[in-house]
Amino acid sequence: MAAMEFDDVYEEIRGVLNPGRLKLTSNSVVFKNLRTGKVETITKDEIENIKWMRRSRGYGLKFITKNDSSLRYDGFKDTDIDRLKEFMTINFGKNVETQKMAVNGWNWGKVSFGAGNLAFQVDHKQAFEVPLKNVSNSNKGKNEITLQFHQADDAKVSLMEIRFYVPPGDVDGDPVEDFHQNVMRDAAVLTAKAGDAICSLSDINCLVPRGRHELRFYPSFFDLHGKSYDYKIPYNQITRGFLLPHKDNRQMYFVLSLDPPVKHGQTRYQYIIFGFKKEEETKVELSLSLEVIQEKYGNNLHKEMQGPYHDIVSRLFRAITEQRITVPGSFTSGAKCVGCSYKASAGLLYPLERGFIYITKPPIYIHHDDVASCGFNRSNTTTGRTCDFEIQLKSGGSHVFSNIEKEEAKPMSDFLSSKDLRIHAASNWDKKINYTVDKDRDIYLEHVQNEGQEREDEDDESDDEEEDEDFEGGEEEEDALEYDSEASIHSTEDEDEDGSKSPSSSKKRKKSEASSTSSKKKSDESKKKSDDSKKKSDESKKKSDDPKKKSDDSKKKSDDSKNKSDDSKKKTKQKESPNKKPPKSKEQIEDDSD
């Protein structure tokens, strides 16, 4: 078999599957990328090992070279393994090894480095591998290391970073440092010597991320070097630049928009904001020759540059990155920005010709194409001095910028109309709120009157209930005395053995009758007094300012009088009950007849 060809083969580069054609000859392996037209060739003398493995797109063939590099091609079928083994044995003198893959889903195992790859193994089987040439940066912590990757422009989904936990080892040495050194040996990290810098600017005030940094410009990236962290950012990550004046016209902001954002710990920074004083000047000298400056940058840069600090920095970024620097346009209300607040942070909102940008925390940029409508809330109130500016997005979200002076609403409305942006009406919750105040209305007096009326109603209900209880209680007591089931049928001590009444008993009966009549009179008088006290209490309720206290006093007096009358009733009934004659028996009736 002289040669073999495979048409539907893919090569994965930074997350992008590049289709191509693989040709195996007796002396070499040739792969042609159909997208770029690039041709890769490996001679049989350079091949160290050949491995066959299962991939997401069928099966893959991996070639490991003697110079510690590897090439991997996907898209093979399971029926191709027999032909490949025979071809490799005859022409290359190599056996094709079948590599087993770990599919149990464990996230702990061992890491090995080789052939320019990081291989993560679980139970002596490979779970995944990472080409170290795709690593752009490596950050180490106490027991943790983070790998960041280069991004491919053609990839729809890209792996941004991967993090490994490295447990402390039993042997001498730092396992995290060893891991970091193995990664950095083959990683394509942005590195450059200090002498390769085009120019450098020291002690620049950086608002986001906060701190004083040294800014160094290199041919392919710029380095933002601080006390605790170092950011190396390629120029192709810069998407926009903004040069914005402060509201006091004494400061300037220079903003860089990054995609993807830089990361510091768990915080991502999509924008880098520099702060400059408008009157501050500096002088910088480029390390490039005049010929190189003229060839690469034309008249945009010079060998020696002097001027305001913000102007020098913006011109350097404009010439090196070839990105436009956006400045405020036609909007003005005494300044090019509007002071406002976003959530709990105060900042500045800049209406630009093609969008809105808010600084400083958090920086927000909204393009006009993403805006569904804009509007002012609480701008028609009579008491408020500020209003809210709301931007509704086509994606469904919204941003509300509050505490804007009402004088700024008119210039902003004119600017929105000039940009043909839709202005929506105020929110419903603003229309429902009544901000006017009635000065003649005494809310406290109304509250006191309502409370007094409620208490009067409660007192009337309690009086009715007490009268009903007294009436029912009297009937129960009379029934108990009249139909006493435990009444004795024997003669009392006041009667003689022959049934005749003694004179002492008659005297006692007269005294008891007199006492009962007097007690009845007293009870009647007490009832009259209680009725009079009730009438007086009702009159006092109407006349007094505090109805509750006097009504309570009168109620207590009436209750006391009622209690006295009830006690007198009980005493009279207790005295009358023993003097009543029990019914005579038949024997007594016969004795009387005899």
CATH number, domain of 153, equals: 2.30.29.220
- Record the tokens describing residue 317, joined without a space: 């970024």
Beta strands 47-54; 96-98: pairing state: parallel
201 shares a domain with 174: no
| Closest by Cα among 319, 242, 252, 301 to 281 | 252
Enter the tokens of residue 460.
Answer: 């009337």
> What average pLDDT does the chain have?
77
Residues 204 and 294 in one domain: yes
pLDDT tens digits for range 416-449:
999 988 888 765 434 433 333 344 445 556 656 7
**Of 173, 147, 325, whose CA–CA distance to 253 is shortest?**
325
Would 485 be classed as within a structural domain? Answer: no
> What is the helix (H) or strand (E) element at residue 8, kind and residue range?
strand 4-13
pLDDT score for 510: 46
Asked if residue 27 is part of any domain, the answer here is yes
Give the type of residue at 33.
Answer: N
pLDDT in tens, 384-406: 788 899 999 998 889 999 999 98
Residue 585, domain member (yes or no): no
User: CA 103 to CA 127: how far, in whole Å?
Assistant: 7
Choice among 74-83, 138-147, 537-546 with the minimum mean pLDDT = 537-546
Residue at which a domain ends, from 402, 432, 462: 432
Note the pLDDT of residue 503: 46
Compute the distance between CA of residue 33 and CA of residue 24 in angstroms, rounded to an integer: 15
Query: Where is 572: in which H helix or E strand?
Result: helix 547-579
DSSP category for residue 485: T
As a whole number of angstroms, the distance between CA 189 and CA 203 comes to: 25
What is the sign, positive or negative, of the torsion defined by CA atoms of 159, 161, 164, 165?
A: negative
368 to 60, 351, 393, 420: CA distances (angstroms): 47, 10, 9, 10
Q: Is 403 in contact with 386 (CB distance < 8 Å)?
A: yes
Considering the domain architecture, whether residues 350 and 403 belong to the same structural domain is answered as yes
Closest CA to 149 of 138, 165, 164: 138
In a domain, 591, yes or no: no
Count how many domains the chain has: 4
Residue 438: count other Cβ atoms within 10 Å of its Cβ: 8
Instruction: Indicate the DSSP class of residue 92.
Output: I
Q: List the CATH number of the domain containing 364.
A: 2.30.29.30
Closest CA to 147 of 132, 167, 166: 132
Q: Domain boundary residue among 162, 186, 210?
A: 186
Q: Are strands 59-65 and 144-149 parallel, antiparallel or unpaired?
A: unpaired
pLDDT tens digits for 84-100? 999 989 888 889 999 88
Domain interval for residue 249: 194-326
Domain boundary among 386, 405, 432: 432
pLDDT band at 479 (very low <50, low <70, confident <90, very high): very low
Residue 171 near residue 159 (C-beta atoms within 8 A): no
Domain-located, residue 576: no
pLDDT at 356: 96
Tokens of 117: 């790859």
Phi, psi of 382 (to 5 degrees): -90, -25
Question: Could you tell me if 498 and 557 are in contact, meaning their C-beta atoms sit under 8 angstroms apart?
Answer: no
pTM for this predicted structure: 0.55
Q: Do 254 and 359 sit in the same domain of this protein?
A: no
pLDDT tens digit sequence for 521-565: 556 666 666 666 666 656 655 555 454 544 455 555 556 655 555
* Bridge partners for 541 per DSSP: none
- Burial classification of residue 193, based on how many CB atoms lie within 10 Å of its CB (0-12 exposed, 13-18 middle, 19 or more buried): exposed
Q: 363 burial class (0-12, 13-18, 19+ CB within 10 angstroms)?
A: buried
The vertex-532 CA angle with 528 and 534, nearest 5°, equals: 115
Q: Return d(Cα 401, Cα 357) in angstroms, integer.
A: 11
Residues 222 and 313 in one domain: yes
